[in-house]
Chains A and B, each alone.
Chain A
Amino acid sequence: MATWTANRGGRSRFLRQVSHYLFRYATWIPPLIWFNAYVAQVTFIRGPSMYPFLNPQYNKSLREDLCLVWKLYAQEGLRRGMVVTFSRNPYDPNKVTVKRIVGLEGDVVKTKHPYPYDYVAVPEGHIWVEGDGDKSQDSNYYGPISVRLVTGRVTHVLSPWERAGRVRWWEHPLRMGVHRAA
């Protein structure tokens, strides 16, 4: 009986509480979207393009690697060996791709199979990206890509516990056949 009396006039209080919670949580949505777009994002890696570095069991299980992608100042200070996401693969502007940087601007890269020429000089403002495995659609398909397409770098692996940690891209051996400009 006591609760019933406490609930009298409950409709207005209900509305007040709902609007209160809506305000409290909905105001976080735009900052979160902004944060995901410009600062950092946690994302799943799909497909075998970075096999065996990411998704080493892509053909044995449905488990996908969970990675932290750092997006702040992503286009500055790029180095060979970094794992970058370039949003918007040059073929399809609505897809995000993850690859490793093989050559910076000015480098001469020995290309792999589908590319029509044996060697390519990476032009100004461009990078040469390749997947770690041989099952990737990379610069050997579409040529060097513009640095402006880069949206982030993969800095941490989060999900399979045994491989969680920082992405030590500087320990990864550089690919053979790259003549460095500087």
Chain B
Amino acid sequence: MSPASGPSMLPTFEVVGEWLLVSRLHRFGRGIEVGDVVAYNIPINEEMGVKRVLGMPGDYVLMDTPPDGEGEGGGGGNMIQVPRGHCWIVGDNLAASRDSRLFGPVPLALIRGKVIASVRSFSEFRWITNTLRKVDSPSEP
């Protein structure tokens, strides 16, 4: 249980006043899947961050910010394969988030746990679940 602040996960978490329940059973990336929200040690400074996992080892991810609806902004379309033992971590608020686009893939060993719930006040408790669903593959004829 720890407080979180900052704009990087804006649609999911508020900027201030959010308390997160972190499951330490998922530390070191155990059982983490794409789409999970994780708390991790930021590799380039002494702080802790909360971001969403976009790629696990072996996945191909976009290295830069994707362009917005009008095709403006964003970087190149370079993609990399996430190396062994790493994951690609990006905030939900792409414009105000320092994440893997800045410091590259994060070692799974730096993951402290999975965010499983958020509490704003005693009345506002909600579970954080992975909203990605598997697409049913079309049956082959």
Contacts and interface: CB of A to CB of B under 8 A. Distances in A.
A149 B44 contact: no
Nearest to A125: B44
A88 B44 contact: no
Interface stretch (B6-14, B17-25, B107-115, B117-125): B107-115
B107 A146 contact: yes
B89 to A, nearest CB: 13
Contact-residue bracket for chain A: 10 to 19
A173 B83 CA distance: 33
Nearest to B28: A93
Contact of B85 (A87, A90, A123): A90
B107 A126 contact: no
B30 to A, nearest CB: 8
Nearest to B40: A148
B83 A142 contact: yes
Given A90-B86, A91-B85, A93-B28, A149 B107 contact: yes
Interface in B64-117: 83-86, 103, 107-110
Contacts of A88: 28, 107-109
Contacts of A87: 109
B45 interface: yes
Interface string B36-59: 000001111100000000000000
A126 B44 contact: yes
B107 A90 contact: yes
Contact of A148 (B41, B83, B84): B41
Interface string A124-165: 111000000000000000100111110000000000000000
- Indicate the member of A87, A88, A90 with the most B CB atoms within 10 Å: A90
Contacts of A142: 83
A88 B107 CA distance: 9
A79 to B, nearest CB: 18
A149 B109 contact: yes
A20 to B, nearest CB: 33
A92 B85 contact: yes
A111 interface: no
25 contacts: A88-B28, A88-B108, A88-B109, A89-B109, A90-B85, A90-B86, A91-B85, A92-B85, A93-B85, A93-B107, A94-B28, A124-B44, A125-B44, A126-B44, A142-B83, A145-B107, A146-B41, A146-B43, A146-B44, A146-B107, A148-B41, A148-B110, A149-B43, A149-B109, A149-B110
Interface of A: 87-94, 123-126, 142, 145-149
Given A89-B109, A90-B109, A93-B107, 15 more contacts: A89-B85, A90-B85, A91-B83, A91-B84, A91-B85, A92-B84, A92-B85, A93-B29, A94-B28, A124-B45, A146-B43, A147-B43, A148-B42, A148-B43, A149-B43
